[in-house]
Amino acid sequence: MFIKDWKPSAISATAPSTGGQDLDQQIAKQGDLVRSLKAAKAEKAKVDEAVKVLLDLKAKYKAATGKDWKPGSTLAPSSTVTSSKDLDQQITKQGDLVRSLKAAKTEKAKVDEAVKVLLDLKAKYKAAMGQDWKPGSVPTPQQANNSVDGLSTQIAAQGDKVRKLKTEKADKATVDAEVKTLLSLKAQYKSATGADWTPNTAAPANKKSQSPSTNTPTMNGANDKATVLAAEIAKQGDLVRDLKAKKADKATIDQEVKKLLELKAQYQTETGAAYAPPSQARENKPKEKKPKEAKPKEAKPKEVKPKEPSPKPSKEESSSGPKKITRLGLEASKDVDLPEWYTQVITKSEMIDYYDISGCYILRPWSYCIWDRIRNFLSGQFKKLGVKDGYFPIFVSKAVLEREKTHIADFAPEVAWVTHSGSSELAEHIAIRPTSETAMYPAYARWIQSHRDLPYKLNQWNNVVVRIRVASFGQCLGFGRK
């Protein structure tokens, strides 16, 4: 500590005042001590004593520096200005701290305090450099500006960096930050030379050396990726064909087909064109493989032709012989076999899937989306008419069914019954509603007592279970939903 009072001109350049820095370190340590005591739930007397020491240190700090202490603000000697690189590093660290606090969902007061420190550092940077701080740009002081040639090379390098980020489809925020840095360099160039920067001002030797090095790797990289993807697609196609020939499980085949489609999509995004059939792709590759592959396949056309009567195989037959085709679409014809065609439509479009109980199906997201839209539309129309929604239980007692004998006469043999609870038989069997009316009518009899209760408008969305026959499709009896 100094004995005499502080004055703006009293500090010599050779003896920087480190008292503020020492106090800053002491305050930080004392603050950590106070927080640790509070976290450990120490005695109140000890906590108060530590807090008093902390407040005393902060008072000394204010007396030495002339301003209140803030966390993270490290004082520099008054005779020397913090370098641009140090400020840039401090801003970067403080920004990382703010982001980590926000990610950890810390208290708002702590986040605001860290943000204030960050803004203070950015203000110091602007006061020292004369321009706002930008991420990723190593700042240079205004007093030591680069030469015109140096600025030109920096602009060229920054332009290449921006173009590279755009080709790699980087985040918009990152691209915008680099573009701002490029514009700042161009502004410095204009202020130094009095003219706008143009690509012709860059050294021609550098351009010639850079152009092949930047273009050839991208072209070679794209070709390499395309060839690798083409090879993977060919292998995956062979795998799918082998699984179908071996009559593997449908789930396994579908999984491998999805992988094949994903590879083809990647190929199209990389090359900009759809994947060509194997016959076209093999013409560009060594032709020695064609006779080797054609010999073992000569014995297979007899088995393939009767199984695939569709005209597609004839189109794929080339000089190398008939080849297997990956079957991804519909194989049945609507005019020839309507039931099989319909089954393939609803299963291959991923609308429904089969269940292990006859007549029951799994509604997948596509089909449920259609049902959801139908229900929402009808519900809206019902509400316009004053109809309200309700729901009745799915179980119906045997007594209620006997009362409705005339109504459910046609349903009597097809009603589904719950007969057991675990291993013990129920005293009274419970039916699963064959129609909605069986559960509604007894309640209506209680609710509607006179003409004043009419009209009674009620709607319910529900399932009914009844054993049905589907003679047109040749299916066996099974429980279904209505």
Measuring CA to CA, which residue among 408, 432, 410 is closest to residue 419?
A: 432
Six token digits for residue 437: 């009316």
Per-residue model confidence (pLDDT) at position 279: 53
CB 30 within 8 A of CB 53: yes
225 lies in some domain: no
Q: Work out the percent of the chain whose per-residue pLDDT is above 70.
A: 70
Provide the H-helix boundaries in 135-246: 148-167, 172-193, 204-245
Per-residue model confidence (pLDDT) at position 306: 47
Per-residue model confidence (pLDDT) at position 216: 42
What residues in the chain have per-residue pLDDT under 70?
A: 1-20, 72-83, 130, 136-147, 200-224, 277-325, 327-328, 405-413, 468-482
Measuring CA to CA, which residue among 328, 346, 327, 350 is closest to residue 338?
A: 346
CB 482 within 8 A of CB 433: no
Per-residue model confidence (pLDDT) at position 444: 92
452 lies in some domain: yes
Helix 204-245 / helix 148-167 crossing angle, nearest 10 deg: 10
| Continuous segment of H or E residues that includes residue 481 | strand 478-481
406 lies in some domain: yes
CB 154 within 8 A of CB 146: yes
- Residues in Cβ contact with 455 at an 8 Å cutoff, skipping those fewer than 6 apart: none
Per-residue model confidence (pLDDT) at position 321: 58
260 lies in some domain: no
Give CA–CA dist 307/324, Å, rounded. 11
Name the residue range of residue 441's domain: 387-481
Point out the domain boundary residue: 271, 291, 325: 325
Per-residue model confidence (pLDDT) at position 353: 93
Share in percent of the chain as helix, strand, coil (round to 5): 60, 10, 35
CB 88 within 8 A of CB 125: yes
Per-residue model confidence (pLDDT) at position 14: 40
Per-residue model confidence (pLDDT) at position 213: 42
Per-residue model confidence (pLDDT) at position 173: 84
- Residues in Cβ contact with 2 at an 8 Å cutoff, skipping those fewer than 6 apart: 17, 19
Six token digits for residue 165: 């980020």
Phi, psi torsion values for 23, nearest 5 degrees: -65, -40
Per-residue model confidence (pLDDT) at position 390: 94
115 lies in some domain: no
397 lies in some domain: yes
463 lies in some domain: yes
Amino acid at 155: I
Q: Is the dihedral of CA 67, 73, 77, 82 positive or negative?
A: negative
Six token digits for residue 78: 């008054």
Q: Residue 430's beta-bridge partner residues?
A: 397, 418
Contacts 24+ apart (CB under 8 A), 446-449: none
Q: Is the dihedral of CA 42, 48, 49, 51 positive or negative?
A: positive
- Residues in Cβ contact with 459 at an 8 Å cutoff, skipping those fewer than 6 apart: 379, 382, 387, 388, 389, 390
369 lies in some domain: no
User: How many structural domains are present in the chain?
Assistant: 2
pLDDT in tens, 111-134: 888 889 889 888 888 777 767 877
